[in-house]
Structure 1
Amino acid sequence: MHKEGYYSSGEFAKKANVSVRTIRYYDQQNILKPSLLTDEGVRFYTDSDFTRLQQILLLKYLGFTLDDIRNMTIGDSDYHVLKNSLELQKRMIQDKIAQMQLVCKAIEETEDSIKEGKGVDWSNMLEIIHLTNMEDSMKNQYINAGNISARINLHNRFSVNKQGWFPWVYEQCGIVKGMRILEIGCGDGTLWVDNIGQLAMTGKRNEFSGKKKNIYIELTDISEGMISDARRNIKKATESWKERDIDVSFRFRVASCEKTGAKDESYDLVIANHVLFYCKNVNKALDEIVRVLKPGGVLVCSTYGSRHMQEISRLVSGYDKRIALEADKLFEKFGLDNGDKILKKHFSDVERRDYKDALVVDEAEPLVDYILSCHGNQKEYLVDKYTDFKKYVEKKLVKPMTITKEAGVFVCRK
């Protein structure tokens, strides 16, 4: 019997322009369950299911596996989930277009080379192979970008300290004209996007500038996806500043903290914002930073303490004790409590500066997004229970939740 507002498997498949076999396969893979399953085993779907199917088909088109899709599409029809997903998908498509344009250019150059009797430029052909084999990088970009956005969004919206983390970190850096700066683990470039006006005023061209840029900034990250995001975000942020107004040179490069690829004593300032605790060998990374800093150069590195965001851990533990939001306690590797001791092995002068702040959260969605963005095992237990978990969080937020923030920087001089 046909139910009003519902589609049979055949009707649903026809509406989506896929086969019934595909619909049943997604059901078996626990990616798209029917909204209604009768006692006789007849499946019915709704418009909400159709929205979810569109998301699945687009992710599949972009090259994601079903396991990837299962982790990235949360079982919820709220518009904010769809909006966030579409925004990230759009960025993915933009990157894919840019990559294909580079591939096309490489092919044309190879064709021209053959026409001119120069033979095949094998290095160019290898570049084509590299550009057309970037699915893993794109997956990492999608996942990492979404995670970073969720974490930044929670802090931006609910922090008590209205200055904001990134403006405060920028302030600690003491940037002046003539500086050569290296940021390792730059992520999506938010440090510079949030402070572009301040940077523009510092690096503003004057009659003594000449041809040389007033400030040189090199951004590195181990992820190609993050470098792509940083390049795009900073380009957009600087578009409102004319060339004569902002005399700053940005460069972008894929590199690790332990091996930056930079020359000895080439930077006045190195910035490592919440990144050193991710390094396989913190001391090796610090040796590398000392190597690339000029005499008297400064490292500004941030981290957090053991009480940071502790209320969130207690919140999820109350829902399911098996959930751990961090696979490792990163603050034990390099945190506010032990960072001073680690850094003094490499730097003559180390100063700790704390960022005074807390979160007062009264909305469930941003908090749930933050929890899902963490590096622990939470998706294993929450992906199939998203709606139930969100209701649990909403009940806990009948009164706004105050969340401890324990973060700061170490300013170190070589």
Structure 2
Amino acid sequence: MKIGEFAKKSGVTVKTLLHYDKIGLLEPSEKTDSGYRIYCEEDLLKLQQITTLKFIGLSLNEISHILHESGENLESMISFQKKALEEKKKHIDAVIEVFNKAQNTARKNGFLDASNLIDIIKVTNMESRVREQYKSDKNLNIRSNLHSYNTNKVDFDKWCFSNINFFENAKILELGCGTGKLWLKNKEYISSDLDITLSDFSKSMIKIAKGRLEEVSHDFNYEEINAENIPYEDETFDIIIAQHMIYFIPDIEKALAEIQRVLKPKGIFYVTANSCEAMKELNKLAEKFAPNLGLDTNGYSERFDLEHGKGILEKYFSKVEVEILDGKIIVDDPKPVVSYKASTIQGSSILVGERKKEFTKYLEEHIRKNGHISITTKTCMFKAEK
């Protein structure tokens, strides 16, 4: 097929096809001596993949990476597209549910209050921003760097591991495993009889975790899982772990119901979260620097934190206990502090270019006057028993 016929058959404009050819995303199978582009059925399959991936929100660069560098076969590619579309459908359903609630409120009261508006903004915007944050481990590493200045030298992951009761032959699921650091840092203490499944909603994170844990002599299972729809039967796991990830889930209540469902009777859900007191000094500095821009918050973590988490968990679990880890970051260099704020969801769009340089100078002046920046850290682990 020549480009005009191919465009007509596929429903894509000639201009779009020319652009895809120019950037190397979809090159025709053949170009004649006269310069005509000739497309075949295989090109039609590639175009289908491109349009589907574009529909679910991926950029052309991301699509190019998937098509040209993933090395996946046709069956796995179709499976990936199908799963991605299912995820998009779930998100759309969640958005519709929030709008239905808002509509009912408006019908009843004649207006929408701030909480309704905040719900709409968060649920419509958060998923894409969270996915952008966790395409790689770059942002996690930046934030870990600031915490290396903590005067409390108790390692967070080792502290978490020590607070989990890994009894013999336990079947374990970690949601949002990230880079797998919980297991890497505690590799010498992992019992061989444990059945451990590591999961994340980010395919990239699972790949990173799998690579890092190759040095650990344990046979981990790996799954791509959305916590709102855990693909296991009722009462499958003895232990479920979620480190600092519950507040990123669009529908927290739905996720907790799923976690409760797949836990065995008396099973334990170990979930970590921040306190609203965490980073309070840094947030005050950020607010003075840029008032009313959203730099003075801990992002989505306020949706599930130390102060409110227990009440949320008690809706689904019979017994909830909490352990707290306090600390203090003392730093006399503005660079790790600026990098930390700029790596967050809210900071990534604000602390760029000249404003990032200005924030650095602002912190340099604070350090000159005070000798250092002191930042409270306070995190917790909830132990929720089914």
Fold match (TM-score > 0.5): yes
Secondary structure of the corresponding residue to residue 349 of structure 2: helix
Secondary structure of the corresponding residue to residue 392 of structure 1: helix
Give the aligned residue type for 2:382: F
The structure-2 alpha-carbon separation of the partners of 1:327 and 1:376, relative to structure 1 and needing over 3 Å to count, comes to farther
What is the deviation of 1:331? 4.6
Secondary structure of the corresponding residue to residue 137 of structure 2: helix
Contact 1:188/1:226 (<8 A) preserved = yes
Give the aligned residue type for 1:370: Y
Where does 1:195-344 land on structure 2 (aligned, <5 Å)?
195-199=186-190, 202-203=191-192, 214-235=193-214, 237-238=215-216, 246=217, 248-325=218-295, 330-344=300-314
Instruction: Deviation per CA, 1:181-235: give whole Å up to 9, x if none.
Output: 1011112212112222222xx33xxxxxxxxxx1121111111111122112222
Secondary structure of the corresponding residue to residue 163 of structure 2: helix
Contact 1:183/1:219 (<8 A) preserved = yes
The structure-2 alpha-carbon separation of the partners of 1:264 and 1:99, relative to structure 1 and needing over 3 Å to count, comes to farther
Contact 1:326/1:376 (<8 A) preserved = no
Partner of 2:24: none
Contact 1:324/1:378 (<8 A) preserved = no
Partner residue of 1:382 out of 333, 345, 352: 352
Give the aligned residue type for 1:324: G
Counting matched residue pairs gives 279
The answer to whether the aligner puts 1:409 opposite 2:378 as a matched pair is no
Give the aligned residue type for 1:275: M
- Taking the aligned partners of 1:143 and 1:363, their CA distance within structure 2 comes to 28
Contact 2:135/2:202 (<8 A) preserved = no
What is the deviation of 1:316? 1.7
The structure-2 alpha-carbon separation of the partners of 1:379 and 1:232, relative to structure 1 and needing over 3 Å to count, comes to same
Q: Answer with 325-334 or 346-355: which moved more.
A: 325-334
The structure-2 alpha-carbon separation of the partners of 1:159 and 1:128, relative to structure 1 and needing over 3 Å to count, comes to closer
- Taking the aligned partners of 2:182 and 2:219, their CA distance within structure 1 comes to 15
Partner residue of 1:396 out of 363, 366, 379: 366
Partner of 2:52: none
The answer to whether the aligner puts 1:167 opposite 2:158 as a matched pair is yes
Where does 1:6-405 land on structure 2 (aligned, <5 Å)?
100=69, 102-103=71-72, 106=73, 123=75, 126=78, 140=132, 144-155=136-147, 157-199=148-190, 202-203=191-192, 214-235=193-214, 237-238=215-216, 246=217, 248-325=218-295, 330-377=300-347, 379-398=349-368, 399-405=371-377
Root-mean-square deviation (Å): 3.2
The structure-2 alpha-carbon separation of the partners of 1:125 and 1:309, relative to structure 1 and needing over 3 Å to count, comes to closer
The 4+ residue runs of structure 1 with deviation greater than 4 A are 96-99, 127-130, 141-144, 326-329
- Taking the aligned partners of 1:161 and 1:327, their CA distance within structure 2 comes to 23
- Taking the aligned partners of 1:407 and 1:386, their CA distance within structure 2 comes to 28
Give the aligned residue type for 2:178: G
Give the aligned residue type for 2:164: C
Partner of 1:42: none
What is the deviation of 1:344? 1.2
- Taking the aligned partners of 2:259 and 2:250, their CA distance within structure 1 comes to 15
Identity of aligned residues (%): 28
Give the aligned residue type for 1:169: C
- Taking the aligned partners of 1:334 and 1:174, their CA distance within structure 2 comes to 23
Secondary structure of the corresponding residue to residue 235 of structure 2: coil
The structure-2 alpha-carbon separation of the partners of 1:145 and 1:290, relative to structure 1 and needing over 3 Å to count, comes to same
The structure-2 alpha-carbon separation of the partners of 1:129 and 1:287, relative to structure 1 and needing over 3 Å to count, comes to closer
Contact 2:169/2:194 (<8 A) preserved = yes
Give the aligned residue type for 1:307: E
Secondary structure of the corresponding residue to residue 306 of structure 2: coil
Instruction: Deviation per CA, 1:8-55: give whole Å up to 9, x if none.
Output: xxxxxxxxxxxxxxxxxxxxxxxxxxxxxxxxxxxxxxxxxxxxxxxx
Contact 1:326/1:374 (<8 A) preserved = no
Contact 2:299/2:345 (<8 A) preserved = no
The structure-2 alpha-carbon separation of the partners of 1:125 and 1:394, relative to structure 1 and needing over 3 Å to count, comes to closer
TM-score by length of 1: 0.60
TM-score by length of 2: 0.64
Contact 1:323/1:377 (<8 A) preserved = no
Q: Which runs of 5+ in 2 are unaligned?
A: 1-57, 83-127
Instruction: Deviation per CA, 1:111-145: give whole Å up to 9, x if none.
Output: xxxxxxxxxxx636746989xxxxx99x9477552
The structure-2 alpha-carbon separation of the partners of 1:164 and 1:336, relative to structure 1 and needing over 3 Å to count, comes to same
Q: Answer with 142-151 or 178-187: which moved more.
A: 142-151
Give the aligned residue type for 1:401: I
Q: Which runs of 5+ in 1 are unaligned?
A: 1-67, 70-91, 107-121, 131-135, 204-213, 239-245
- Taking the aligned partners of 1:159 and 1:395, their CA distance within structure 2 comes to 21
Q: Answer with 322-331 or 252-261: which moved more.
A: 322-331
Give the aligned residue type for 2:202: S
- Taking the aligned partners of 1:158 and 1:260, their CA distance within structure 2 comes to 37
What is the deviation of 1:404? 0.8
Secondary structure of the corresponding residue to residue 295 of structure 1: strand
The structure-2 alpha-carbon separation of the partners of 1:253 and 1:148, relative to structure 1 and needing over 3 Å to count, comes to same
Contact 2:283/2:296 (<8 A) preserved = no
What is the deviation of 1:329? 5.5
